[in-house]
């Protein structure tokens, strides 16, 4: 559980350093949603593949990708996992279990079903997990994906990170169903609704969902979360200030710190040491990314098609 805390703190600190390193860059941040990414990653095994939306920094670091190379990718440098060609919206490192982010809303869902199909054929017991937002739930791609996943018994887990808004549009104004999790049931897909601010709850829900999917029973998990920042580094904040403040009170990192302290698992000194380690790690990542070369346009021609 200390490892969960460490990863969540790493994600938060990483993003703060990224913004400072590249103030004008376009990023979608995961602050507030760290427990969802970390809880999902906790259930992944070698050979599994995670696909995610363009809000990818949390999932990438939760998967254990090297913060140095993630940072380089986020600012388009050649030492990034995708040689700087993909950026944060398309972070990918299949060798490390992150099949990839895809920045088209709902665009990774059908692809994830395909990854699950290939795993079913070639790597029995492995599974594909796809993270998407509440904003993807009105899309036909989700419904088509659930239908075929159920029909073909794909080893696929769909995790809706319901952060309540797609940019400015409230989930209740974009989806007729009360909860995204309700959508899965009609396809006979088991679904769970969990508190996405509680990493232990997410971890537990994913553990049972993943076990079922490995046996060919696709599953759906809805994590109710909240993003602490506006949609992107360039979008206007439209949510009520008191609502944002209320959710910030429920910060998943602070909540876990309190729990671990009260359980006697995490002492004050240990926490200070953890914070210092993470600070050093993200600073080193920023320095690595800053020093990394810009990509060579001529070399990029090689990767077309």
Partner 1 sequence: MSADQPTAPAAGTKVFFREAIIRALREEMTRDEWVVLIGQDVAEFGGPYRETQGLVEQFGRTRVRDTPVAEAVQVGIAVGAAAAGLRPVVFITYMDFLTLGLDPLVNYAAKIRYKTGGQLRAPLVVKTTAGAKGQGVAHSQSLESWLMTVPGLRIAAPSTPDDAYGLLKTAIRCDGPVVFIDHKRLFPTAGFVPAGEHLIGFGEARVRRPGTDLTIVTYSYQCLVAQRAAEELVRFGISCEVIDLRTLYPLDEQTVVASARRTGHVLVLEEGQEVCGVGAELAFRIREALPAVRIKRVGARRLPISSSPILESYCIPDAARVVETARALVSGTET
Under the rule (CB under 8 A), what is the footprint of partner 1?
A: 49, 80-86, 90, 92-95, 99-100, 102, 104, 107, 109-119, 121-122, 128, 140-141, 144-145, 147-148, 151-152, 300, 302-305
Question: Would you say 74 or 197 has its CB closer to partner 1?
Answer: 74
Taking residue 97's Cβ as centre, other Cβ atoms within 10 Å add up to: 19
Q: Are 197 and 249 in contact (CB under 8 A)?
A: no
Q: Are 32 and 226 in contact (CB under 8 A)?
A: yes
CB of 84 to partner 1, least distance (A): 8
Of the candidates 244, 200, 236, the one whose C-alpha atom is nearest the C-alpha of residue 31 is 244
State how far the Cα of 115 lies from the Cα of 249, in Å rounded to an integer: 38
CB of 146 to partner 1, least distance (A): 9
Question: Would you say 110 or 233 has its CB closer to partner 1?
Answer: 110
Residues in the chain: 305
Question: Would you say 23 or 302 has its CB closer to partner 1?
Answer: 302
Question: Would you say 145 or 203 has its CB closer to partner 1?
Answer: 145
CB of 92 to partner 1, least distance (A): 4
Sign of the Cα torsion 263, 267, 271, 273 reads negative
Question: Would you say 16 or 85 has its CB closer to partner 1?
Answer: 85
Question: Would you say 85 or 169 has its CB closer to partner 1?
Answer: 85
Question: Would you say 155 or 252 has its CB closer to partner 1?
Answer: 155
DSSP 29-67: --TT-HHHHHHHHHT--TT-EEEE-S--HHHHHHTT--H
CB of 224 to partner 1, least distance (A): 27
Three-state DSSP state, 267: coil
Half-sphere exposure of 156 (CA within 13 A, CB side): 30
Of the candidates 32, 55, 65, 30, the one whose C-alpha atom is nearest the C-alpha of residue 130 is 55
CB of 138 to partner 1, least distance (A): 14
**207: alpha, beta or left, given left = phi > 0 and alpha = psi -120 to 50?**
alpha
CB of 50 to partner 1, least distance (A): 12
CB of 283 to partner 1, least distance (A): 25
């Amino acid at each position: 559980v200390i490892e969960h805390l460490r990863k969540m703190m790493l994600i938060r600190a990483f993003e703060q350093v990224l913004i400072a390193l590249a103030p004008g860059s376009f990023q979608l941040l995961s602050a507030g949603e760290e427990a969802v990414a970390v809880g999902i990653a906790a259930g992944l095994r070698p050979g599994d593949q995670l696909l995610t939306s363009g809000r990818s920094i949390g999932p990438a670091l939760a998967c254990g990708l090297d913060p140095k190379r993630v940072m380089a990718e986020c600012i388009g440098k050649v030492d990034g996992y995708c040689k700087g060609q993909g950026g944060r919206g398309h972070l990918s490192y299949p060798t490390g279990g992150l099949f990839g982010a895809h920045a088209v809303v709902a665009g990774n869902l059908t692809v994830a079903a395909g990854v699950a199909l290939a795993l079913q054929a070639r790597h029995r017991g492995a599974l594909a997990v796809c993270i998407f937002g509440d904003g993807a739930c009105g899309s036909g791609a989700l419904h088509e994906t659930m239908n075929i996943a159920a029909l073909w018994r794909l080893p696929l887990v769909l995790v809706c990170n319901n952060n309540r808004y797609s940019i400015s549009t409230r989930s209740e104004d974009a989806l007729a169903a009360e909860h995204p999790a309700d959508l899965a049931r009609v396809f006979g897909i088991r679904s769970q609704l969990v508190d996405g601010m509680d990493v232990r709850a997410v971890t537990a829900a994913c553990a049972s969902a993943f076990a079922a999917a490995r046996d060919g029973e696709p599953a759906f998990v809805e994590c109710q979360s909240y993003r602490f920042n506006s949609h992107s580094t360039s979008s206007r904040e439209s949510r009520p200030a008191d609502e944002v403040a209320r959710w910030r009170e429920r910060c998943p990192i602070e909540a876990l710190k309190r729990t671990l302290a009260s359980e006697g698992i995490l002492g004050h000194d240990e926490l200070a040491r953890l914070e210092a380690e993470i600070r050093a790690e993200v600073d080193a990542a920023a320095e690595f990314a800053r020093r990394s070369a810009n990509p060579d346009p001529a070399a990029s021609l090689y990767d077309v098609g």
